[in-house]
Structure 1
Amino acid sequence: MDSWMLYDLGIQTLPEDTYYALTHSPAGPKFTETATSQQQYATRPGVPTKPMLLARDKTTPAESGKTLFPAGSDASSSAEELELRRIRNATSKLHPDKKFRRGPHWPKSCLRKTKSKKPCPPSDYKIGHYRTCAVVGNGGILLGSHCGADIDAKGYVIRIDVPAVTGFEKDVGQRTDMTVLNMDTPKRLEISSGLKNRSMDRYESRLRKINGTVLLAHRKSHPYLKKASQRYHVSFVLLTSASTFKSATRINPIASKIARKRYRKNHPSTGMATVLIATTFCDRLFLYGFFPFDQDEKQRPHPYHYYPDDGVRQKPIAKDKKHHMDAEYKFYKGLNQSSRGVLKLHIGECGNL
């Protein structure tokens, strides 16, 4: 059985039922307990010591896992609740909180800088439960979409493979709560962090933008991510799985149950796995940037990704032929039509969702 492991890369642990303010100082990240239990704080660039209140719609620990759509909410439809339960029954094994191992499994790769050489203790961070989540793909369709405000308004924002955000805020938003990584990205981070010509490094500013947030990756990525974290002087809550979380043997049966028809494709993408993982802790998913085609319905051309090449890849950014992006897009489109509002796929300019 696969299991998630959690590492704390320089970030302090959080008791489960307490809310904290995260601030940064010359000594590093610091958490202080807040007086208001249902407020959530985070840092923002340009505010080095003062916490900044962010609007969230996360449920409290007492609510998590209970009433999915409270009476009087805009999602109180029993049909929608049943559809969400059906989807979660299929994806439940992918929930990160259920797959954590609490002990340090690599004592040599996570050591405190002390004479005792004791391994870093595991964090007790938990994802929790959110009513709305934005899963932001990297498709070029986002350029000119003006979806930034819509994305930032969601309760939890998930991105893929440390994309560029600065300079694209109007279209892709600013916030990031979780980043899901494929196997290649951590290696590129390590290479980029070691470039002698620092002006060529595209990842330093990107990682600082998401400092203190959650990274989800394969266990083999841990050494690369720890090294990059040390070089860039950033800290993350790192969740890792003992085996790949996007294997066809794992994803295809889940997708088949959700779609109510056989889904059998080799090499599911990281985006596909991210969407399925998000269903385990989000009541409503809003997908942005999941459009694999070179042209939209109006025959307007779009680049594969909305941001330029990072300069580290051996080949320029292009459509990965091993993934079945067309089939995955049809899967999302089918859920957009049949999931009764649980999943909404947005294509084009925002304001029409």
Structure 2
Amino acid sequence: MRPTQEDVARRAGVSRALVSLVMRDAPNVSPTRRRTVLRAADELGYRPNASARSLASKEVRTFGVLIHDVTNPYFGLVYGSVAAAAERAGYDLLVAPGTRSPEREVSLVRTLLEHQIAGLVLLSPMMRTADLQRLSGTVPCVIIGSDTSVAGVDAVTTDEVQAARLVVEHLVGLGHRDIAHVTGGPTRPARDREAGYRAVMAEAGLEPRVVPGEFTPEGGREGGEGLMALDPLPTAVMAANDLTAVGVMGVLRARGVDVPGDVSVVGFDDSQIAALDLVGLTSVRQPVDAFGDAAVARLAELVAETGGEARTQHIPAELVIRSSTGPVRGA
């Protein structure tokens, strides 16, 4: 049987993705590891087929895209913006759907790297910092939706402090002073969002009240139960995203708490759910179209080696006001 790249990887004690990079003469492989792979290939008599060598000799016009959570409609909007920007720039996309698992994300990225891709767009990845650092040394990559400070990794994201300021100023303008935050869990975007909330509450001279949650309706329901345990019940809530907000609203209404009469609720993402008549959720609209344009343009710079040092681009958000927020009762 003719040896495969999997056989070479096993003999060299490396990943198949690394073998693929060496065989297509990718630049971001250390000389030592390249020699190890080539020695194993020679020992096994492995030779890349002619069509693969021909493909590798051409300019690669494909980006890989890792999507954090395909069940969240927000990521559909972001992917759509990346796809439109990539098409305008003359790039195709290969897509890997994440499952909210850091380990699964790493596996999916390895699969993408085995194909002919010029770079990667990562939509709110959960993978560890060490994995992101290794990835950035292998292929150009840009993160969307997380204010990462990982060395060598570019990011395009919302200005979380500016976004939180829009929410808090809106609620304070309606007379609210007791404004709680239901978090999105331990992910980078959730931590960024909570940090923005805390910073703006401090600016306004208000005491933050944080309740654990997740970026899911189930996490929102857990957050809603946490809110009901607070004494006194806050008069307003900034939820980590729209799915979280819907979960919170469900608990409040089931417990006889009127939204927005007793408690105003604000979401994040301005997804299709927020605009539904039965939901009417005031929500932060992230600059989704700008995300796609900025990420693809930046990735093209990195591929062309004209990008310079890694940087994070913060893009302002806006607040879309609907029926889930209103004045403090009796104000």
TM value normalised by structure 2: 0.23
Which one scores higher on RCO, CA 8 angstroms, separation ≥ 6? 1
Structure whose CA Rg is larger: 2
